[in-house]
Copies of this chain bind each other. A is one copy, B any other.
Amino acid sequence: MVTKEEKTTQNPCPVSAMVALIGGKWKPIILYCLRSDTRRFGEIATRIPTISRKVLTDQLKELEQDQLIIREQFNETPPRVEYSLSELGKSMAPVLAAMEKWGTENILNKHL
């Protein structure tokens, strides 16, 4: 996540700036999962079966704080919460697409 310090400290490296936002094991995957659709919490959890619910909650909170995603809560029973990409989040599409392309071409089914 981006701390206050990091917001004010002028770090001149654009790559660092990006890593501060989507570094970590899960954030790129979560954003990738939201790339085309609004999704409910449980839906994301199903699509990323190896993430625990706690960690998913934590990561979604940070992504929301960093304004990459939007959380919409419906006061129903049982509860319903929908997550979607913000404009800032959508602007990351080229990065995620480049990552997906690389992963597909270089890793999958290659036993590297």
Interface positions of A (Cβ within 8 A of B): 2, 7-8, 12-19, 21, 23-25, 28-29, 32, 88, 91-92, 94-108, 111-112
Note all chain B residues with C-beta closer than 8 A to A100: 14-15, 18
Per assembly, the copies of the chain total 2
Q: Are A108 and B15 in contact (CB under 8 A)?
A: no
Note all chain B residues with C-beta closer than 8 A to A102: 14, 18, 91-92, 94-95
Q: Give the secondary structure class of A's interface.
A: helix
In the complex the two chains form, what is the Cα distance from A107 to B6 in whole Å?
11
In the complex the two chains form, what is the Cα distance from A24 to B15 in whole Å?
12
Q: Are B16 and A111 in contact (CB under 8 A)?
A: no
In the complex the two chains form, what is the Cα distance from A28 to B12 in whole Å?
15
21 interchain pairs (CB within 8 A)? A7-B112, A8-B111, A13-B29, A13-B32, A14-B100, A14-B102, A14-B104, A14-B107, A15-B100, A17-B103, A17-B106, A18-B28, A18-B99, A18-B103, A19-B28, A19-B99, A23-B25, A91-B105, A91-B106, A92-B102, A98-B98
